[in-house]
Amino acid sequence: MTKTKTCCKCGVEKQVEEFHRAIWHTDGIMSRCKPCVNNENRNWYARNRERERARARELYSKYKVIRRITNRVSYRKRKERILEYRKSFIKNTKIQVISHYSQGLNKCALCDEKRLVCLTIDHIKGGGNKHRKEIKVASGTSFARWLIVNNFPEGYRILCMNCQFAEVDRLRKVKYHGEE
């Protein structure tokens, strides 16, 4: 048998799950249902919005230094874990992108180089720097994340740095001298 309670605000009998818990009440449940409490809170905030914003700004400035010190101490305690996580995140992101654009082979498209530190993402038609500026994304991990978020768009391949430099040189010759 499920327990019910009548809301003192709206007068509707409801399941106890529809009431917030309150240890100070004899039955351990608030006398007003969740929708009534939420409605009251929303209305109160609408009436007192400016006062609450001013209070929040005051508290923010008051505890800014304390928060900065606390964050610094917390970071120092967990620094090794945080750096390890960042390192693994960067590596996993790079592996995911390289694996996709190399069809799971994880190697350079031109020379079969397989060392992860040597592999990079290449815009097939060139213009990578211009493209990254347009989408307002830096190179490296943030660009790799952009590729993942945008469902790996076409027009990219994996090259090692040597092939990347050779390809840039080839594109420059074509652009300025008409050579191939």
Confidence at 127, pLDDT banded by 50, 70, 90: confident
Residue 101 pLDDT greater than 70, yes or no: yes
Residue 1 pLDDT greater than 60, yes or no: no
Q: Domain boundaries in the chain? A: 4-48, 91-177
- Per-residue confidence (pLDDT) for residue 177, from 0 to 100: 58
127 touches 119 (CB < 8 A): no
- Per-residue confidence (pLDDT) for residue 176, from 0 to 100: 62
Instruction: List Cβ neighbours of 125 (8 Å cut-off, separation of 6 or more).
Output: 155
Residue 179 pLDDT greater than 70, yes or no: no
Residue 49 pLDDT greater than 90, yes or no: yes
Tens digit of pLDDT for each residue in 18-40? 999 998 888 889 999 999 999 99
Tens digit of pLDDT for each residue in 128-164? 888 888 888 887 889 999 999 999 999 999 999 999 8
Tell me, what amino acid is at 115? R
